[in-house]
């Protein structure tokens, strides 16, 4: 898995690509929770390049959401492929996370 990072208008955008599973989740957890620990409280996860997410990946997202809630932070996901949206639906994560179509929409959601 590769994780691209970019800052746009005070919002940190992380763009993982490949698979987010039991093998790659620890690396993603280190990066994501590390950035939150560094003080990034406005985050967008661009999942356009993400092909697969397992329960291990979902656990990392849930941990990040809990940490951000403690700091009044915001997180939005964008460009999520249909089969991953289905995983979010089944797991109930669509009620927990803001999922939008485009990066621009996600940036607007977390910047407001």
pLDDT of residue 21: 97
Query: Using alpha carbons only, what angle is made at residue 16 by residues 35 and 93, rounded to the nearest 5 degrees?
Result: 85
The pLDDT > 90 percentage for the chain reads 96
Report the pLDDT value the prediction gives residue 63, as an integer from 0 to 100.
Answer: 97
| Mean pLDDT, range 86-97, rounded to an integer | 94
Query: Which pTM does this prediction carry?
Result: 0.95
If you average pLDDT over residues 79-107, what whole number do you get? Answer: 95
Name the E strands within the chain. Answer: 2-8, 11-20, 42-46, 50-53, 74-78, 98-100
Q: What is the pLDDT of residue 89?
A: 95
C-alpha span between 80 and 50 (Å, rounded): 8
The domain 2-111 having CATH identifier 3.30.750.24: the answer here is yes
How many whole angstroms separate alpha carbon 67 and alpha carbon 73? 8
User: Residue 93 gets which letter from DSSP?
Assistant: G
Please write the tens of the pLDDT for every residue from 62-75: 999 999 999 999 99
Domains in the chain: boundaries: 2-111
């Amino acid at each position: 898995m590769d994780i691209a990072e970019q800052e746009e208008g005070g919002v940190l955008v992380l763009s993982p690509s490949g698979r987010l599973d039991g093998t790659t989740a620890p690396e993603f957890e280190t990066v994501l929770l590390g950035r939150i620990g560094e003080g990034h409280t406005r985050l967008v996860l661009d999942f356009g390049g993400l092909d697969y997410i397992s329960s291990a990946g979902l656990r990392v997202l849930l941990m990040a959401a809990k940490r951000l809630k403690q700091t009044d932070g915001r997180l939005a996901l964008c460009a999520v492929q249909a089969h991953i949206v289905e995983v979010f639906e089944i797991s109930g994560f669509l009620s927990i996370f803001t999922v939008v179509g485009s990066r621009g929409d996600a940036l607007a959601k977390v910047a407001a």
